[in-house]
Amino acid sequence: MSGTTNLGIPFIQAAQNQKEITANAAFEALDASANAAIAVAMGDANITLTDAQALRAGLVTLTGSNTAVRKVTLPSKARRLAIQNSTGGALDITVGYATGASVTVGNGAIVLVQGNGTNCYGVGGAAALGDLADVVGPFLNGDLLQFDGAAWRPLGTGILSRVMLPFKGALVRRATTLSITTTPTAVPFTDATYDTDGFWSGAVPTRLTVPAGVTKVRLWARLRWTGGAANHGARIYKNGAAFVGQGDFKAASGYTDADYSFGSAVVAVTAGDYFELQPYASATRTGGANDLQFAIEVVETADAANPTLLALTDTPASYVGAAGKLLQVNGAATGVEFGPRHNLIASAAPTGADDSAVGYSVGSQWLDTVGDKIWFCIDASAGAAVWKGVTIA
């Protein structure tokens, strides 16, 4: 006896007796396919649902404990089915056919899956945030969304966005003892506890140097001296001189064991600026191993203060040589890059000198607005470029 295409419910035959039996069974099958709930143990393995499981239940709850992301394969029939991931192990499950697009069901989630026999799609809860009508993208990693009265958009480069930036800075120390006298002398540090962007170098051990892209920083220092009563002091210098917002410390009375820390204000910097910690005392005193520490913390970067396209991680690093070029998605589909150079405002036809040496390549286009002709570069060899033109008048 034949049945329906997807649910396989038997048809009522013209000559059969007791048609109500077939009809009632069909009603039960329809009821179950929309509303019945079953549980299926995955057994820490990929599984394939049977027709009875996938076509006679509206909700399939997956149980068991998984040690990896597992797949649930559906029978190759069009179907709308709710899948609940109740497995242990806090791992996702994917749902799909033997081939084609699949849907990810997060641990603890229930997702309505719509399949056409080839591909599966998430309905409602599996949609991405950017798919919603009142959310305007695109988004970058770490973006915050703000409602502008009509839609949700990335917040931009305000203070909240800067708070979310990855930490940048360095903490250095002197792992051996150091003696000081009355002359302020920069401390040569021995190693960095952390250094995100090359602020410190053993080649110039007294300095914390500002790398490119950093616009504001804050400094901190900690010092401890032993060796008898003496007056102690220390200062943070920028480029070998005092500066507005600098940090310093001075103890006017005699200390036999001085231990202190201090910091600077947030100060504006440019690439190449450097800071040094310069201690001094009224008599020779010694700082013990790890007793001298110096840190720099970035509080603003150029891409946060004045964002540019080049500051993004998936865009070109420079505009050099890019005049006349358009952006295109790269071959790996992981970012954008500059494509061939074009000239769409020319007043004459291209020549053999319009070649690779000046940025043109195979595929470059040239619009002669006077001659009403568009040209395409088919060979960009230096000094012998070949262009083919089409009249557009």
Give the pLDDT confidence of 40-77 residue by residue, as tens digits: 999 999 999 999 898 888 999 999 999 999 999 999 99
In this structure, which amino acid lies at residue 303? D
**Each residue of 100-125: pLDDT tens digit?**
999 988 888 888 999 999 999 887 65
Distance separating alpha carbons of residues 108 and 106, to the nearest angstrom:
6
Looking at residue 333, what is its pLDDT? 84
**Each residue of 318-365: pLDDT tens digit?**
788 788 888 888 888 888 888 889 999 999 999 999 999 888 999 999
**Full DSSP string of 18-69:** -HHHHHHHHHHHHHHHHH-EEEEE-TTS-EE--HHHHHS-SEEEEESB-SS-
- Both tokens of 43, joined, read 């057994």
Residue 131 pLDDT greater than 60, yes or no: no
Q: Which pLDDT band holds residue 387 (cuts at 50, 70, 90)?
A: very high
DSSP 310: G
In this structure, which amino acid lies at residue 244? V
**Each residue of 254-297: pLDDT tens digit?**
666 778 899 999 999 999 999 999 999 888 888 889 999 999 99
Looking at residue 126, what is its pLDDT? 47
Residue 302 pLDDT greater than 50, yes or no: yes
Closest to 221 in 3D by CA, of 253, 186, 256, 197: 186
Full-prediction pTM beyond 0.85?
A: no
Q: Which residues pair with 258 in a beta bridge?
A: 225
- Residue 158 or residue 342, greater confidence: 342
Residue 158 pLDDT greater than 60, yes or no: no
Q: Provide the residue count of the chain.
A: 393
Looking at residue 217, what is its pLDDT? 96
- Both tokens of 360, joined, read 């043109």
Q: Which pLDDT band holds residue 203 (cuts at 50, 70, 90)?
A: very high
Opening angle at CA 155, ends 153 and 160, nearest 5: 155
**Full DSSP string of 318-387:** --TT-TTEEEEE-TTSSSEEEEEE-EEEESS---TTSSGGGT--TT-EEEETTTTEEEEEEE--TT--EE
DSSP 238: E
> In the predicted model, what is the mean pLDDT of the chain?
86
**Each residue of 17-37: pLDDT tens digit?**
888 888 888 888 888 888 999
Q: Which residues pair with 111 in a beta bridge?
A: 83
Domains, the chain: 36-123 (2.60.120), 133-163 (no CATH), 169-303 (2.60.120.40), 311-391 (no CATH)
